[in-house]
Structure 1
Amino acid sequence: MSRTTDEKLVELRQLFPDYDSAGLLDVLVSCDGSLKRTKLLLGATSEGEPEPRTKRFKSQQTLSRFVKDTRVAATTVMSRSSKPIALHTKVEIETALKYCTYHTNVLPEDLAERLLQVTLNDPHYKATEFWLFGKKCTSNHLSRIFLPTTRPDALYYNGKQVTDYGVYCDEMMVTQVLIEDIVNEALSQRVRLPFQTKSDRWQAQAALSNKYERDSNLDWHSDRLTNIGPHPIIASLSLGFSREFRVRKTYPSDSQIYSIKPQHNSLLIMHAGFQEEYKHCVPLLPTRSRISTEDLHPTAGARRINITYRNYLIKDAIFCKLCGAPMDLRRMFKDPEKRGKYFYQCSKSYTEQNGFNEGNECKGFSYANFDNDPPLTDNEDHCSSWLDEDDIEPRAHSGTVRQAEA
């Protein structure tokens, strides 16, 4: 008889008592509910016992190194349905995902082709480094940040100041102008959420680009709100091969998964509310034999370029009072009674000491109040909060929830 998720979590908590329960659930979900794969990913031996802590943190490795089946990494997860529901048309996408709009053939064909070739041939894309339960890992897709100027204001991304970036080429600048028109036309037909940009016109100040080779993927995540702010609007341009893009509600973690395959030269606008309400990923491609030659892009083959144009609402970094490291802006969602509250948490999670990566998590924390300058408050009752109008679970717990004023 198959074991329930709760039963698996009980065993994981016994094996890994130092790990956060919500984090254990996220890893279990990304491993398709496999208890064995989750144990191996977290560093357990083949017998199921955790290895000594110092043995597991000796060197930097890729995430797939910790999973025997390298195709596990965020390709499929447990859901209410046995498999993702495919969304093929604009109507299907926008009906199922209330905070998305989908637009095809957004650039002139020759501009899309030139931009694709420029980014494919750019040698400066790099793998992203990140921490997972004390392990320093690298992504198996490549990324690069582009800015329209050579002298930008200080910009922080994933807890670090951006010093290595590319400057917009002519194609990227023209593309931004065209995309801004599409985004603003879409915004004119939507209800404004309380914390999205107050400007009459949405404008991007930077572009984050991801390059996916045939064997690349991107794990489940929501984009950090730290600089793009609450209720951000991100315009995601797809070029080259049409890769699957999966989306699910952030809570509960076993929510139905939806699958989209954005076409070459298409734009998926993740509107205000998307990052708060959804997680997304780019799963691994199926095996080579299952990819039709007709599906390959004539220039990119099985490679995909994704360029996300972003509006940075919060330009000044918030630094931790305890350690001085930059702080990350997040929104509570796990506890229904606190769901919707925004807060700042220190981004300093782990440091290298004595040759090992040992946990040195900083406890720096503050509630966020976007009416303040800086946007901080120590009073939970004064923190900024927002709930999706369809989210009835917190209301069922508390009866009433203070909504942020528009």
Structure 2
Amino acid sequence: MNSQSKRRFNASLHAAGISLAIFYSCSAIAASSGAGASAGGGRQTGGQSPTVTITVSPKKQAAASAYWTRQRVADAPALAFAIDTGSGAIDAAALDEIAALGPEEAVPAGAAAPGATDLARAAFAADWDALAESEALDSDLSTESPTDFMAGTAGVYMSWDVGTVTALATVYPHRWMGKLTFNVPGGGASCSATAISGNNIVTAAHCVYDSTANTWYSNWVFTPAYRNGTAPYGTFSAKACTILTSWMNLTGSYSINTWTRHDVAVCSMNNNSAGQTLNAAVGSAGRLWNASNTQIVFNSGYPAQDYNLASIPSPAQYLRACVAETFLQTTDTLGMGCNWGPGISGGSWLVGYKPTVVSGQTNSVNSGLYVGQQNMYGARFNSNNIVPLCTARGC
């Protein structure tokens, strides 16, 4: 990476108003729960289609909303991460490939409906009061300026604990991100997800369907702008979730170089208890696909552990992020430097991040990592993954 690229990276961060410190480790505590398999209680469709959908019955939708109280959302442990035991070596042959999937395309971000926050404040007053009361205890962002470094390089990133700042919890684009909770055979589990158009969320397929055991999880509920037990916009249960048939057909053990490109899911969500649709309540992140392999991204979610699988303080309670430039790991699989681990699964990689501005497009979601390596990997959104998923779900 030349000096011009480095200047471009830092200039983009400064333009977005970001002033962050670099961290290369996290403190350690306990581990998170594992994932089993459970039939999701719905109808499967697909056959030879590029996608497969599970439809959740109205009865199960209502049961999921009732089950996922604020306390249960807070207590849900992170789903065991997709772990690759390999070396993490970049697939050199893929670096010379030219993806012939069509031109770069994008869907812009969307704002919430007028008056949505006032409605949410009235409907979920206790959550907003809890956010206000916690301001005195908040940490603040570092005033240290970004350090000049080689962007687009494995293990290089800026780590940001976004969620400890209450003032940022409900502003764009953070209000689009949230905690995804659901049931696995051992109980509750959590991943991360992001609101997109059509009242949908985008997340990782491994948060929806267990390819190893060949079964669906169940009772998905999305809590946007979640922060330490509060749900300022309420919760939204899933009506249907769609994964790629190629994800369902995978066998054996997870591999970043062969599984990650398929690890994307889209779920359609119900209204919250105040009657708001997801997009009316919080708006929607945009989408970017068939784009360059090199993008500056804001990667965020609700991790419970770090890259060494050591628990972090307040696991899965706060939105945390990494900012880095992506690199091509292998065919349609991106890598980026990051120090987070389990719980951040399904969190989006946002291009064009700007705090407090309705701006940003998802171009990947967190899939997996190599334990001990400070990198995260995700599918490069393209015509073969996000497009058929959104076609099925009406993004």
Fold-level similarity (TM above 0.5): no
TM-score, structure 2 as length reference: 0.25
User: Taking CA–CA contacts closer than 8 Å with sequence separation of 6 or more, which of the two structures ends up with the larger relative contact order?
Assistant: 2
Larger-Rg structure: 1
